[in-house]
Each structure stands twice: as structure tokens, then as C-alpha cells.
Structure 1
């Protein structure tokens, strides 16, 4: 089943790759490409009949995202797709009430609703437990006030899972998540922010001013937001890593092809040891990253505690993505510096991978905490 999803999405990715450079320059999200991805049924994979078995489809999801990344060099599209799955589909499928699933499962599955989640705040950064956005209960539901930053898919989102403080600030049981529709009074999503890479995957901010949300829009349980966040972020990391592995495989193919065909000083540049060794190192990085990804997914599905392994997978994959993108620019030389080849875009897109979903430093803190080397770093993303 995983191979079928991989091949299907890789084939689709090739069809979506034609206008990537122009799209990057205009920084516009493509609803046409989005609808083609949605038509595959990918967004419906987390919605299993038995919510307790929602992780059973993780191997298919990661295979599909890897295939999409391998087939197309549109990293922005893959990032928005992974965000839809992790931010909206996964929490609704696993923790959403029957009422929430009845209302949102179909439009999320078909891509009619684009999802996002709002976690980070301007003053809290990576420290999720320091968030200040508060939800106060009254007779009619909850009233939410606060600000959110760095919301992937935010400017185009129809439904946002907003994480708030409902209990004692700074405690594991103090957070609660709410499914907040875009048209909620008092809920304002910004337009797209200019950024270095992933330009066609819109990033924005949000303000909530006396935004009233019904009590039945709690995702999971009141006070269960930290557990929900940990669940979601582990899968977000793996989904995004799958796309990055696909992109690295495509990059390896491209660089190997360049080394065989580009002739300098009377011979293919691949004949020069400096070039061939760089590409060999790229292959080692790609295969190492892929093994880490699929091994961690398999362990998660088997029910193992993968807290440290998810963090290590993110470090291995995201940093290999940056390193191989940098090597690709060097292999292509001056051509790699030009926008038209798309090589420099790969480097711009890769850089953010060591920052979003918890920086490389945060991930190392997590591993250290699991090893008993420090008290901090294990509770926030």
C-alpha cells in the first residue's frame, strides 16, 4: 500500500512541477495544485473508523508525502499539504468529538477546507507553555483573546486549531485546543508574510479579540491541549520530514545527472573526485535520512515511545536537507545560483526546516532531557 501511494504521488508531482519557478517568484498559493492533491484522497487517510487506530495509516501518509517531494520540486506545496494533515486532519481524526468529525471530516478530506494550527506567540516563541492566549468559559462557550504568530497556511485557512490557556499558565494541564472557523467574529487572520523560502506556502499571524467559540469546538478535552500538541507535533515533524526526504532524493538524481552530462576540461565533471565524492556524501545523507524517517514511523505505529527518535529524525533529516541543498548549488556552479534552474530555491526552502516545528536546538534539548542530561526542553516545541 505504501508503494502505491508513493508512486501515485510521485507521478502527480511530476505533473505539478511545470510552473514552480514562476510561482515562487509571485509567491502565490496554487488552489489548482491543491485540488489535484486533494483529489487523491490523501487528506482522508488519518480518518480511520476506529480513532484509536488512526496511526495505522502513517506509513501510507509518509510514503505519499515522500513521493510528492520526489516527483515535484515544489516544496511549498508539500509543506502546505503536510500542514493540512498534521494541523487539522490528525487532531480531528484522533481527538475530535463526533460532532466535530461530522461537521468537518468531509470538507477537510476533500480539501474544501484548508486547515492550520495556531501555537506560537510573538513573546513565547518555542516555549509553548509560556503562551498567553486565553480562553475563558461562560454560559455560551468560550471567549478567546490573544495573538498568534508563524501560522503556516494561516492566510488561506478556513479552519484553525488554536491552542489557548484555560487553566494554570505554564502547566501541562493548562492548555486547551479549539477548532476556530475563519469567519468567527473577533478572529482576524493576516495576509501572507514575505519570507526567504517556501514562498507559495502562506505564513501569517492571527489576532483574537473576544472571539466566541462554542464549547463543542474543543478538540479533545479541556486541559488536554499539551497532550494533543505533543501528539500533533510528532506527526507534523514526520510528515514534513517525508517531503524533505523526497526532495533530497530528487536533488540527488538531479546532481548525479548534472555530473554525468556537464563537461569541463574535456570530461564530465563527475570524473573529478571532488565532485563525485560530494555526490556520494549526498547519497549517504539521503539514505541515512530515509532510514531514520521510516524506522521512526514504524516504531511509532508499533506503539513505542519515540519522543527522542522523533527529535533525532528531525535533526538528521532537516540538517541533511540543508547540507545537500548547499552541495547542489556547488555542483551546479554559477547555474545553481540562478533562479531559473531552481537549485538556489531548494536551498532557500531547506533553511526553514531547522527552525519550524521546533528548532534543531530545541530538538537536541529534547534528546538530552530523555537521556537525563537536563530538566528543560522536553515539554515545549
Structure 2
């Protein structure tokens, strides 16, 4: 399997890198302090076709395959300093656009996809609840059938893009007793009566990516708002997570690449004890390890992307998400060591990148959960099949009758 980027893929990545460097993330320090996304940046991304990357041309998309999307998003991350913007873009594309594309009716596709592509609408994906995080199927949000529609009740937490979303993909159960088989998905428009959004929590990192708490109280939606069939929510979620875990952190590959390049330049220009610090093995080896982690994360991301069109049994999405998130945290910690005291200041972006990376080990499933899922898919934690021990023949008497003392 050849995962080397083509000239066309590299050219697109280069254009998005230049866009990110020149037009996106301006005044990131001030906006991060105010926990604010720059609306103009979202519009610029829409005009550049970023929101349209994986969607068919029939709905205004560019029709790119997942691997091309991964390469393109790495290029964007290489140029753009605003990791929060990149996270919001990913949540919109992979967890909203893709489920609508794969499970929506033609009416739903025509209504939502063109507007999601060109930036007229922003999407959010509402799954997490107070008691349902990694245990995503332990949902308490209810969907009660009422006439020709449904009534939704429940609360969703930590919803990326919630304060700015025009449509939210909400997961609720039609019957808690059914467990994961009762989960059903709904597309809920922002102006739907009974839906309220509140920004209750401030984040350690990714501060320019808005998130909030969504409350549904007697929120009535028509049957046409249901995405897919009733009780199909677990399948929809599985596909959304496969795409999100494969590609959500692709921009972070570019961020790591930019950080490594800066560390190389700094190690060649910073002098201590009469020579450049890059001449010290401790520094040189640390940067080499940073590069090795990046290379491994990129390969796993590209492998996961290349398999998205196939069966869902592969652990490639979990491996890509786990490796990239852990690599990012380690890389930015190493960068801080290379820069020393300067790396601990806000002027180098290192501390902000580190804070942003910490959250990637939690979002879309914690690192621990990724290992649990991988163990299941590898068959490690599968229940062993019970086998009956061989039955001893019954003891019999000389004439074939069963003896009374037989056990």
C-alpha cells in the first residue's frame, strides 16, 4: 500500500499551509484569553474549500478521498497557529457532515450539506453527558415518539461548536432498557423550541474552539429530523468516530512539524559553552525523538484514512488518534526543554501548543479508551469460548448395568 502523497495532494497542502500562515490565527493570543473564535477565519476556511473537502461535488464539495483530506489538513495545521479553529473545523466536518452524507435522506443532504460546505451553517455533535463520556452508550437523553415526531429531553456537555452551531447532531435513546441498541440520532436546528445552549466551562487549552452545554426540554422535532433509522444511532456514532479519530488530529501533525522545524533552527543558532546547543547529544537526540514520533503518527493517520472506506473492524482509527495525541504532548514538552526558560513563556507558542495538546488525549475518547477499543478489536479482551470437558464414560458392571458408585 503506497501512502506517499501525490503531487496534487502536496500542492493542496501547500496552498492551505500558506492560507493558514497568512490569513488565519491573527491575534491568537488576545482571542485565546477571551475564549473567542474569529468568525472571519471560519469564512476564509469556507471560501478555501476546507469545509467541503470530503463531500461530493453534487452538494458543493470537493470530492476528495480521506487520505487527501489528511494531507490537506496537515498542511493547514503547518501554517495555522490557531489549534482551536482547527479543532472546530474537524468537529464540523468529520462528526456532522460525514454522518449526514452517509446516513441522511436525500432531503436532509440537500438541506444541510451545501450550507455546511460553504459556511452558511456550523455543525455540532452532541453526545457526552454527565454520566456518559467514555461509556457513550449509557445515555440518559430521551427521545419519546409523539405523533408524527419526537420529543427530546436531556442535557449534553462539552459540545464543541455548541455556542455557534446552526444544527446539532444529538444522540438520545428511545428506551434506556435497550442499552446501545436504543440510541437514535437527530438533527436539531438552533431555533428549535426547547433547545438552549449555555457556555458554562472554561478550558485549559483549545480556548478559541467554543464549546457549551446543550439542554433539551420538551424539545419537539419532526420525524424528518431523525438521522437514519430509529435505533441506528450506535452505527452512526461508530462511523462518525471512525472518521473523527482518523482525521481530527491530522492538523496537529502540521503543528508538530512546525514546532520541530523551529527547534532545529533554535538548536543551530543558540550557543552555550562555546557551541550551538544542537551539538549536544541530549538536545539533538531529543529533537530526533520528536521527529520519530511525528513520522509514526503520520503513518498511522494515513493508514487509518486509507481504510475509512472499508469495514469498521480495524483498530486503525483508534491507533491514529492515540498515537498522535500522545506524540503531540511529548513533542511540545520536549520543545519546552529545548528552548529552556524561553519555552516556558507565551512568546514561542510552545506552552499554548502544549495546553492545546493535553485536551486531545481526552476528546473523541480518552487515551485509555482507545487502548480498550484496540484490545477488543485485537481479540485480547474477547471472552473465551466455553468448551465442555470430555465426558468420562459411565462405569458399568460386568453385565453393562451402571454401577452405583459411579461419579
| TM-score bucket (shorter structure) | over 0.9
- Cross-structure match for 1:350: 357
How far apart are 1:372 and its partner, in Å? 2.3
Residue 307 (structure 1) aligned with residue 292 (structure 2): no
How far apart are 1:172 and its partner, in Å? 3.4
Match of 1:47 among 41, 55, 66: 55
How far apart are 1:56 and its partner, in Å? 5.9
TM-score normalised by L of structure 2: 0.88
Indicate if the aligned counterparts of 1:46 and 1:93 stay in contact, CA closer than 8 A. no
SS in 1 for 2:137: helix
- Equivalent positions of 1:225-240 (< 5 A) are 225-240=233-248
SS in 2 for 1:130: coil
> Structure 2 unaligned runs (5+)?
1-7, 384-407
Residue 89 (structure 1) aligned with residue 92 (structure 2): no
- Cross-structure match for 1:316: 323
- Equivalent positions of 1:50-65 (< 5 A) are 57-65=65-73
Distance 1:190 1:364, change over 3 A: same
Q: Structure 1: how far apart are the matches of 2:191 and 2:200?
A: 18
SS in 2 for 1:164: strand
SS in 1 for 2:307: helix
How far apart are 1:61 and its partner, in Å? 1.9
Distance 1:247 1:169, change over 3 A: farther
SS in 1 for 2:92: helix
- Cross-structure match for 1:370: 377
CA RMSD of aligned residues (A): 2.0
* CA deviation map 1:233-272 (0-9, x unaligned): 1111122221111111111111111111112222211111
How far apart are 1:164 and its partner, in Å? 0.6
SS in 1 for 2:81: coil
- Cross-structure match for 2:87: 79
SS in 2 for 1:27: coil
> Structure 1 unaligned runs (5+)?
377-381
Select between 277-286 and 236-245 the one with higher mean Cα deviation.
236-245
How far apart are 1:123 and its partner, in Å? 1.4
* CA deviation map 1:148-184 (0-9, x unaligned): 1110111111110000101454533211110001111
- Cross-structure match for 1:329: 336
Distance 1:210 1:155, change over 3 A: same
Residue 254 (structure 1) aligned with residue 262 (structure 2): yes
Q: Structure 1: how far apart are the matches of 2:177 and 2:328?
A: 36
Residue 111 (structure 1) aligned with residue 125 (structure 2): no
Indicate if the aligned counterparts of 1:238 and 1:297 stay in contact, CA closer than 8 A. yes
Residue 22 (structure 1) aligned with residue 22 (structure 2): no
Match of 1:128 among 136, 144, 153: 136
Q: Structure 2: how far apart are the matches of 1:299 and 1:103?
A: 29
- Cross-structure match for 1:379: none
* CA deviation map 1:187-237 (0-9, x unaligned): 011126211000000121111000011110111111110000000011111
Q: Structure 2: how far apart are the matches of 1:187 and 1:258?
A: 51
Aligned length: 374
- Cross-structure match for 1:341: 348
* CA deviation map 1:269-317 (0-9, x unaligned): 111111111001101111111111112211233x254531211111111
**Which structure: greater helix fraction?**
1
Larger Rg: 1 or 2?
2
- Equivalent positions of 1:162-201 (< 5 A) are 162-191=170-199, 193-201=201-209
Indicate if the aligned counterparts of 1:116 and 1:153 stay in contact, CA closer than 8 A. yes
Match of 2:152 among 144, 148, 152: 144
Q: Structure 1: how far apart are the matches of 2:185 and 2:342?
A: 47
Indicate if the aligned counterparts of 1:155 and 1:192 stay in contact, CA closer than 8 A. no
Distance 1:55 1:235, change over 3 A: farther
Residue 214 (structure 1) aligned with residue 238 (structure 2): no
SS in 2 for 1:172: helix
Indicate if the aligned counterparts of 1:21 and 1:340 stay in contact, CA closer than 8 A. no
Match of 1:11 among 11, 18, 22: 18
* CA deviation map 1:114-158 (0-9, x unaligned): 110100101122111100101111113110000111101111111
